[in-house]
Structures are given as structure tokens and as C-alpha cells.
Amino acid sequence: MKYSISELIVERYYRLKNWLVEQDVSILPQTKKKHWSDLDILAVGDEVHLISCKDFLPSNKDIDKVIQNLEDSEKYIKHEYKHLKGKTFKKIYVYGRTGKKALEILRIKGIKTIELNVLFAEYLQFLDSYLVSMNRNRKDIGKGKRYYIIGELEGLDKFISYLLNNNFINDIAINQLLKNKGEKLSKPK
């Protein structure tokens, strides 16, 4: 199945945090509606995060479907995954572009909203921190590089580490997004 950009980034973000992640979790309807749906991302760590990902939501009207899906998902997961009882559940909406009215409705409903570029910056910071710790005390990191080894990384993480290591990612833009958290990417040697 093809994943949206936001699903791919959210999945890698939570895996890098060492959370258990499941994509496209089938959800049986918890209302009188007859159709089933799916939850984009179920992430389990200290808490349980139910995440709906949208690269682009074309209409504020579509936000009602997102809200209903997250509500159905929470009821279904709590009922079917009893071993998660006692954990805090959070509903999260990760978006690339969405109308202001839709975001306001989500916040009123208690759903946390995260802009995709902010989450991507946090993912980069987690990946960078991991690589910096792996390369600590190495004397053989080339001039203009951040890391010498990238370890057992695969897929997107390995590709992004290559981009970071070879200065293909705009540190200024990423560090601006991380500023609110008091974080920033490491500097090349």
C-alpha cells in the first residue's frame, strides 16, 4: 500500500523514539454506521497515540470524518486491546495543509494538532542526536561532515542521514522549527 508523506514521517518519528508502531489498523465501526475504516498510525510507548495523517485536507467539511475516525479508533482500541488499559490515550492529527477552521474544531474536540514540517524537524533532531551519540569521540569524521558511521540504519533513516551528513538539508530552516523546543541540529565538523 502507498503511504502518504505524513504517514511515512510519523511512522519513522515514533520508531526512532522506540515506540511500537502499527500502520493502517483496521477499525470496526463503533457507531451505527455499517462501514469500517482504518487508523493511519497506532503508536504505543508511555502513552497510546491514535494518529490521523493528512498531507492535504481539501475541505474544512472533511474534518468531521477525521474526528469520527479518531473517536471510533479510540473506542475500538480500548475494547480490543485490553492490555493497554491504564495507559493515557491521545488523539493526534498530523497535517501538511489544513484550513484554520478545521484546526480550531479539532482543538475544541481535544485532538492535538501537529504540523508536518514541525514533526519532520523533530524527527531530524532525533535522528541527528542518535547519530551524534554513535559517532561521539570519533576523530575520523571528515571536514564538513557530521558523522562517520550511520550504524544499522535502513530505508528513510539511512537516506536522511546521508542528506544531513552531506549538507543537503537546510539547517537554518530546521533549526528555526526546533527553536521553540530549545533544540537544534549538530554542526558539521
pLDDT grade for 37, boundaries at 50, 70 and 90 = confident
Domain final residue pick, 110, 141, 171: 110
Do 64 and 92 reside in the same domain of the chain? yes
The CA-atom distances, in angstroms, between 179 and each of 88, 115, 174 are 28, 15, 9
Query: In this structure, are residues 37 and 78 in contact, taking their beta carbons and an 8 Å threshold?
Result: no
Do 9 and 100 reside in the same domain of the chain? yes
**Which pLDDT tens digit goes with each residue over 97-150?**
888 899 999 999 999 999 999 999 999 999 999 999 989 888 888 888 888 888
Structural domain for 134, as ranges: 117-181
Do 9 and 96 reside in the same domain of the chain? yes
Q: How many domains does the structure of the chain reveal?
A: 2
Do 142 and 89 reside in the same domain of the chain? no
Within a domain: 70? yes
* Contacts for 13-20: CB closer than 8 Å, 24+ residues apart: 13/119, 13/122, 13/123, 13/126, 14/41, 14/43, 14/45, 14/49, 16/123, 16/126, 16/127, 16/130, 16/157, 17/45, 17/126, 18/45, 19/43, 19/44, 19/45, 19/49, 20/44, 20/45
Do 30 and 106 reside in the same domain of the chain? yes
Do 93 and 171 reside in the same domain of the chain? no
**Which pLDDT tens digit goes with each residue over 146-188?**
888 887 788 899 999 999 998 898 888 899 989 988 899 998 8
Cα separation, 164 vs 160, in Å, equals 6
0.85 exceeded by pTM: yes
Do 102 and 38 reside in the same domain of the chain? yes
